[in-house]
Amino acid sequence: MKKLAVLILVICFGLLSCEEVYLPKPKGFNRIDLPEPAYQILPDTFPYAFKYSKYATLQADSGENVERYWVNLVYEDFDAIVQLTYKNLVDPNNKPEVILNEAFELTQRHIIRAYSIDESLIQIPNGQVASVSELEGEVPTQFQFFTSDSTNHFFRGALYFNTATKNDSLKPIIEYIKVDIIEMLNSFEWKY
């Protein structure tokens, strides 16, 4: 009888002591499967030409004060937009020094929320230079760029996301679209 009582006691302690310790899972990010980059040529109705992603839709800009040849490259799967603007510098209302200052000011407006702004110049195959700004931090635009032939044309672009998601979790998508923008600049040409 004592052996049975000891056996029951051991089994009870064994069952009560088999409690699993639960630990909270660390925070993680959703897995993002990005497609292989593929490009198409811009329609022939613009004063400029370039290749853009096949995963982006070309749409006319519908904002206020829109000018001719302003378009958006919409990445619907990523809820992102690359806004593209164009200025004809032959027009006497478009003074190159004013437009250039505006481009730098549009980038500097984000200095309040940006951890850093890395500005660089890259030589593009058409023989001209493009100014590229990469912004780090919780800013509405993470990548901006412009190029000009300094006498006839000025072209500017900025990447925006229509989401409140933190930029840390958007990093793979930002990097993916930056590659598309660099391809755009490398294939960029003016039509005279």
> How much of the chain exceeds pLDDT 70, in percent?
85
Give tens-digit pLDDT for 101-119: 888 888 877 777 778 888 8
For 53-69, b where at least 16 C-beta lie within 10 A, e where not — what string?
bebbeeeebeeeeeeeb
Give the H/E segment covering residue 70.
Answer: none
pLDDT score of 157 more than 90: yes
pTM check: above 0.75: yes
* Ordered domains of the chain (ranges, CATH): 38-190 (3.40.1000)
Supply the pLDDT for residue 13. 64
Residue with more model confidence, 17 or 120: 120
Give tens-digit pLDDT for 24-81: 666 665 667 899 999 999 998 999 999 999 999 999 998 888 999 999 999 999 999 9
In terms of Cβ atoms closer than 10 Å to its own Cβ (0-12, 13-18, 19+), residue 155 is buried
Supply the pLDDT for residue 30. 63
CA distance 38 to 121: 25
Q: What is the mean pLDDT of residues 130-157?
A: 90
